[in-house]
Amino acid sequence: MPGRVGDSPIIGAGNYANNESCAVSCTGIGEIMIKKSFAYDIHARIIYKNLSLKNASQEVMNDLEKDVGGFISVDKNGNVEMPYNSAGMARGYVKSNGLAYIYIFEEGEDISLTEYKIEY
């Protein structure tokens, strides 16, 4: 749609980062991510409800209707969550040991868990 601004560039909706909690990058139906301040909501649940990244992620995903999208998040301790509620979502991360983890569908349905050693 001409002139549409998606959620990705909107801090709090499509992305959010705070050293005290987590960093989040979302993908999906931007209008819903914007209305729900999706990325910020994960942070808020960690800070105000004292939830783990995993539990905050599960709560936020439970509030979404099917096929809205998902996100990649990492907390201040390096824990990673990448939930989604669509057929699949390309996602991945690299740990400090140089191993890269790449997924598209649920674990066991495709290249999940594929490990690559990244040399620096």
Residue 12 · residue 40 · CB < 8 Å: yes
Report the number of distinct structural domains present in the chain.
2
The two tokens of residue 73 are 């998040």
The average pLDDT across 54-80 equals 94
Residues 59 and 97 reside in one and the same domain: no
Percentage, residues of the chain above pLDDT 70: 87
| pLDDT at residue 9, rounded to an integer | 82
pLDDT band at 7 (very low <50, low <70, confident <90, very high): confident
Residues 94 and 82 reside in one and the same domain: no
Q: Quick one: 19 exposed, middle or buried, by C-beta within 10 A (0-12, 13-18, 19+)?
A: exposed
The two tokens of residue 65 are 């209707």
| pLDDT at residue 114, rounded to an integer | 58
Parent domain of 106: 90-120
CATH number for the domain that contains residue 40: 3.60.20.30
What pLDDT, in 10s, does the model give residues 23-45? 999 998 888 888 899 999 999 99
| pLDDT at residue 116, rounded to an integer | 64
Pairing of strands 69-75, 22-28: antiparallel
